[in-house]
């Protein structure tokens, strides 16, 4: 895993009255234990991967409480785990990245929401929206509304978050409905503290097992039960949820003296709004604002009388709702009209419809709102001046920088085993012409960016091969699909490979087998060889491919560019029809470095011999055309001034960050570029033979230099 939480996990054992200090995602995990869960599952994805990692590291605690933890095969599998809460009074939580994960889970979610739950079921969503996001920009809100699953968006404050997680289970049970809790990137990674409660044991667990199955046809999602379930949702569960939210004050109202105006904000954006008001001189550093704020920790369902009450007597309210469509703004507008309220609703008029509400966006939007609503007792001069000040600061910064800052697209890590595959594809294209590449989700999606620019479409996790289905038959050349090992097990084996074999498709699939779900933090997957409990699994990609009927399978070490190029060319040109799979194998370099670092440190401390391989470029040979950089894209490959006064082009240079993967040398060889690259082995704690050999070499080189002189 990317990070070990072994130390932090100890905090999960804290008891009543003790103070927890740490990261938001760890606080959420502690809140699950305090809520008495019987099961936890999920699928990794930023910004909530760490919840899975923490659970994997907390095995002794889970065992003690009899909690079942499962690293699910996909988000759909995780959502289906909640079925335990349909029949039994068992609390459980599942986690994934949204909205992509919610898309995958939506079949199970619809069924879960229709059947309803007896035990509290909470779905923790990493709402990956905005400038730090890595996925399509949509909102989980749509899923909540369409399936009638309640949606919480907690105010980023650890005490409040933990309280709301516990309330989410109670809300779920009070209304027989699963509850989604969305956490933005910053909430997951914020640090803070809260006073703990004791962890709770569930009455049903691996330690206290069930003996009699429950059967109730009313909970099966099939007609006529589904008709009754829909009615139950609307007539019973919906009002029960509203009553619970109101009675337990899950939403919060913060008063202010400017009571002709107000802000209604999604809980997750509360801190940003407060900071904006502070910048505009309308709040202090302790969170006291002059503008009244109604903070929606529950964004679905809304509590109509709560909102109408907040708006009572106000000329206008500003709705701060990130993303689109403007569900909250539309709903609040409608409910105020039904309450015959004269309060004017302002939202997307002053704030953008799309994109993250960063500090700057909110500053401009809130300032516009204040300037338009003219609250009595507020001098608008400093408000406009603050906006102006930020504009001027940005202009000044741009002026000082002179030229625009060069773009730095994301890149594979130094020494990444996936980079050589794309170098090889580039070389094949040089011989065969441009190829249609059906790309996939994972670190390898970076191939779509410079210097490779390889990848014509990305349709979803594990869907690389499926996305080639209609292109391949109409293309004059074989189409190459890419898939990671994570994607292969998530969706690719069934929807991609099995379907391609079933439909007798002719194409090429490259599976990047780097050993982990690398892009999300090196979590274990079936082909890692062991599960999160370090138990061997014996599952391999090759065996799975064979099992579904693939015959043409070649395994190539990714760093062997010449062999990879040859295998790709063979797959492109062979007369053999059908799916051809190349398993591109080498361990994720980031995971490898993390694995090796402590071992090397120990060896050095013990005085043992350690060899580090580094590559370099011979200045006198490099021609300065930099094709090595264009074909490998390694961030450790740079340029430096040409030491030869008669040559003006800068020469290639290998930075100290080189991990010695050897790709640059391989590429130079496979592409017949130049012989500039050399390999050097740096020996620490040399043996007697190393020292003797070094002496011989030095004397020999000295002689040569003497002769040359």
The one among 35, 518, 528, 558 contacting ligand SF4 by CB under 6 A: 518
Contact 162, 31 (CB under 8 A): yes
Does 441 help bind ligand SF4 (rule: CB under 6 A)? no
Nearer to ligand SF4, 29 or 636 (CB): 636
Nearer to ligand SF4, 341 or 636 (CB): 636
Contact 94, 40 (CB under 8 A): yes
Scanning residues 367 to 426, which ones bind ligand SF4 (CB under 6 A)?
412-416, 418
The one among 663, 668, 670, 673 contacting ligand SF4 by CB under 6 A: 663
CB of 658 to ligand SF4, least distance (A): 3
Contact residues for 530 (Cβ-Cβ < 8 A; gap 6+): 524, 536, 537
Provide the mask over 560-589, with x wherever binding to ligand SF4 is found by CB under 6 A and - wherever it is not: ----------------------------xx
Nearer to ligand SF4, 376 or 410 (CB): 410
Choose the binding region for ligand SF4 from 18-26, 43-51, 630-638, 691-699 (rule: CB under 6 A).
630-638
Choose the binding region for ligand SF4 from 75-83, 164-172, 603-611, 633-641 (rule: CB under 6 A).
633-641
- HSE-up (13 A, CA, CB side) for residue 61: 25
The one among 660, 668, 670, 671 contacting ligand SF4 by CB under 6 A: 660
CB of 653 to ligand SF4, least distance (A): 9
Neighbours of 109 (CB within 10 A): 25
CB of 467 to ligand SF4, least distance (A): 21
Q: What's the angle, vertex CA 593, arms to CA 590 and CA 595, rounded to 5? A: 105
Does 117 help bind ligand SF4 (rule: CB under 6 A)? no
Q: Which residue has the tokens 């933090």?
A: 521
Does 662 help bind ligand SF4 (rule: CB under 6 A)? yes
Question: How far, in whole angstroms, is CA 410 from its chain's centroid?
Answer: 15
Three-class SS of residue 266? strand
SS (H, E, C) 114-131: HHCCCCCEEEEEEECCCC
CB of 591 to ligand SF4, least distance (A): 6
Contact 112, 178 (CB under 8 A): yes
Nearer to ligand SF4, 319 or 590 (CB): 590
Total site size for ligand SF4, rule CB under 6 A: 26
CB of 678 to ligand SF4, least distance (A): 11
Does 32 help bind ligand SF4 (rule: CB under 6 A)? no
Instruction: Give the span between the Cα atoms of 145 and 659, in whole angstroms.
Output: 49
Contact 124, 75 (CB under 8 A): no
Does 112 help bind ligand SF4 (rule: CB under 6 A)? no
Reduced to 3 DSSP states, what percent helix, strand and coil does the chain have, rounded to the nearest 5? 45, 15, 40
Tokens read off for 554:
């070649």
Length of the chain: 709
Does 676 help bind ligand SF4 (rule: CB under 6 A)? no
Scanning residues 443 to 502, which ones bind ligand SF4 (CB under 6 A)?
443
Q: What's the angle, vertex CA 21, arms to CA 128 and CA 30, rounded to 5? A: 65
Nearer to ligand SF4, 147 or 423 (CB): 423
Choose the binding region for ligand SF4 from 308-316, 538-546, 567-575, 631-639 (rule: CB under 6 A).
631-639
Instruction: Give the span between the Cα atoms of 668 and 622, in whole angstroms.
Output: 11
Instruction: Give the span between the Cα atoms of 422 and 424, in whole angstroms.
Output: 5
Give me the residues that bind ligand SF4 (CB under 6 A), please.
412-416, 418, 443, 514, 518-519, 588-590, 615, 632, 634, 636-637, 654, 658-664
């Amino acid at each position: 895993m990317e990070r070990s939480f072994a130390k932090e996990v100890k905090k999960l054992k804290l008891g009543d009255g003790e103070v927890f200090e740490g990261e938001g995602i760890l606080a959420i995990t502690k809140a699950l234990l305090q809520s008495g869960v019987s099961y936890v599952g999920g699928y990794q994805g930023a910004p909530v991967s760490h919840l899975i990692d923490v659970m994997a590291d907390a095995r002794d605690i889970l065992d003690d409480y009899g909690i079942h933890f499962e690293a699910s095969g996909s988000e759909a599998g995780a959502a289906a785990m909640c079925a335990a809460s349909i029949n039994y009074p068992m609390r459980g939580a599942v986690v994934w990245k949204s909205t992509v994960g919610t898309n995958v889970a939506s079949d199970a979610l619809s069924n879960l929401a229709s059947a309803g739950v007896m035990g509290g079921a909470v779905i923790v969503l990493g709402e990956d929206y905005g400038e730090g996001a890595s996925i399509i920009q949509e909102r989980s809100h749509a899923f909540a509304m369409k399936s009638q699953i309640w949606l919480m968006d907690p105010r980023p404050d650890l005490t409040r978050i933990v309280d709301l997680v516990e309330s989410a289970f109670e809300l779920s049970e009070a209304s027989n409905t699963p509850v989604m809790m969305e956490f933005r990137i910053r909430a997951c990674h914020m640090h803070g503290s809260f006073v703990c409660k004791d962890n709770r044991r569930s009455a049903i667990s691996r330690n206290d097992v069930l003996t009699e199955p429950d059967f109730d046809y009313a909970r099966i999602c099939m007609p006529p039960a589904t008709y009754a379930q829909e009615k139950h949702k609307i007539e019973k569960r919906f009002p029960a949820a509203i009553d619970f939210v109101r009675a337990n004050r899950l939403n919060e109202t913060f008063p202010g003296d400017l009571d002709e105006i107000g802000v209604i904000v999604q809980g997750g954006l509360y801190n940003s709004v407060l900071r904006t008001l502070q910048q505009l001189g309308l709040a202090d550093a302790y969170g006291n604002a002059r503008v009244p704020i109604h903070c929606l920790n529950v964004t679905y369902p809304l509590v109509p009388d709560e909102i109408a009450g907040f708006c009572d007597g106000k000329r206008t309210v500003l709705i701060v709702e990130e993303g689109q469509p403007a569900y909250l703004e539309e709903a609040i507008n409608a409910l105020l009209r039904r309450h015959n309220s004269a309060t004017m609703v302002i939202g997307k008029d002053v704030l953008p419809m799309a994109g993250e509400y960063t500090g700057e966006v909110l500053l401009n939007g809130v300032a516009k709102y204040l300037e338009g609503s003219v609250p009595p007792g507020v001098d608008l001069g400093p408000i406009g001046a603050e906006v102006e000040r930020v504009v001027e600061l940005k202009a000044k910064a741009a002026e000082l920088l002179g030229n625009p800052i060069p773009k730095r697209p994301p890149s594979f890590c130094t020494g990444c085993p996936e980079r050589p595959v794309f170098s090889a594809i580039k070389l094949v294209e040089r011989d065969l012409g441009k190829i249609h590449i059906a790309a996939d989700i994972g670190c390898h999606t970076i191939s779509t960016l410079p210097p490779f620019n390889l990848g014509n479409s990305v349709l979803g996790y594990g869907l690389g091969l499926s996305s080639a289905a209609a292109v391949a038959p109409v293309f004059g050349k074989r189409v190459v699909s890419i898939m990671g090992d994570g994607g292969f097990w998530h969706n690719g084996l069934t929807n991609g490979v099995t379907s391609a074999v079933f439909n007798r498709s002719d194409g090429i699939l490259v599976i990047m087998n780097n050993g982990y779900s690398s892009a999300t933090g090196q979590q274990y997957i079936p082909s890692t060889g062991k599960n999160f409990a370090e138990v061997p699994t014996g599952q391999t990609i090759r065996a799975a491919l064979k099992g579904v009927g693939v015959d043409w399978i070649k395994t190539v070490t990714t760093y062997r560019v010449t062999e990879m190029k040859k295998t790709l060319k063979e797959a492109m040109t062979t007369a053999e029809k059908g799916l051809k799979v190349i398993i591109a194998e080498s361990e994720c370099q980031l995971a490898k470095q993390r694995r090796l670092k402590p071992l090397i440190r120990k060896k050095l401390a013990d005085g043992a011999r350690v060899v580090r391989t580094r590559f370099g470029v011979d200045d006198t040979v490099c021609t300065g055309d930099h094709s090595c950089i264009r074909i490998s894209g390694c961030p450790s490959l740079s340029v430096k001034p040409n030491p030869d006064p008669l040559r003006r082009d800068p020469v290639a240079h290998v930075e100290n960050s080189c991990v010695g993967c050897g790709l640059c040398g391989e590429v130079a060889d496979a592409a017949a570029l130049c012989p500039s690259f050399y390999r050097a082995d740096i020996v620490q704690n040399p043996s007697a033979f190393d020292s003797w050999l070094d002496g011989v070499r030095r004397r020999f080189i000295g002689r040569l230099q003497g002769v040359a002189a």
